Amino acid sequence: MEKVDLYQYERELWNQGINYVAGMDEVGRGPLIGPVVTACVILPHDFVLEGLTDSKKLSEKKREIYYSYIMKHALSVGIGMMDEKIIDQVNIYEATKLAMYQAVENSPIIPEHILIDAMKLEKLSMPSTSIIKGDSKSISIAAASVVAKVTRDRMMIDLDQKYPMYGFKSHKGYPTKKHIEAIQKYGLIDGYRLTFQPIVRIKEKSYNK
């Protein structure tokens, strides 16, 4: 299998004199609870981290190690998040966009160009490139993917300590069979996305009893 050049997009921009190239990714569009989290990461030109790729392809242990390395060596990291109330109000796609704009605003260094995983952001004040499966094609997007994933997973682990019966530590809020069964047994707690179909169905069933 041909090895992907994870620096291809960044290098093209750096060669044009664009120094601050950011990668942007999101985590948490599918879960039933908690915020959607985004990260905007600018890496130095000499950044190297062997094995860095899409966070979903990495073990939890690896993600934690990579997260620490990225946070230590990145030039800039901005985090954005939109909670369940915003998600229910505007829908998950629009909430993800809002979280991405927020991540750019929270970036200590203003990016000159942003590489985004799949999404298109029309209201950015700087140029951007949308890359399908960008988290496995761009080192900056891969870094953003890891930062967003670890940030959100840690929130789910905190929630698990508060409500261990829901199993948040294992499923991270995604609609697994065990998660659905826990909601049916223990009910809804704060943070659930009330417009998501599995939750809507559970609420309808409880009303019709």
Residue pair 172/153 in contact by the 8 Å Cβ criterion: yes
pLDDT per 10-residue tile (average), the chain, 209 residues: 85 98 98 98 96 93 97 98 98 98 98 97 97 96 98 98 98 97 96 96 75
Residue pair 154/160 in contact by the 8 Å Cβ criterion: no
User: Which of 3.60.21.10, 3.40.50.970, 3.40.50.460, 3.30.420.10 is the CATH number of 8-154?
Assistant: 3.30.420.10
The SS3 call for residue 175 is coil
Q: What is the pLDDT of residue 207?
A: 59
Kindly list the domain boundaries of the chain, sorted by start residue.
8-154
Q: Whole-angstrom Cα distance, residue 104 to residue 128?
A: 12
Q: How far from the centroid of its chain's Cα atoms is residue 114's Cα?
A: 15
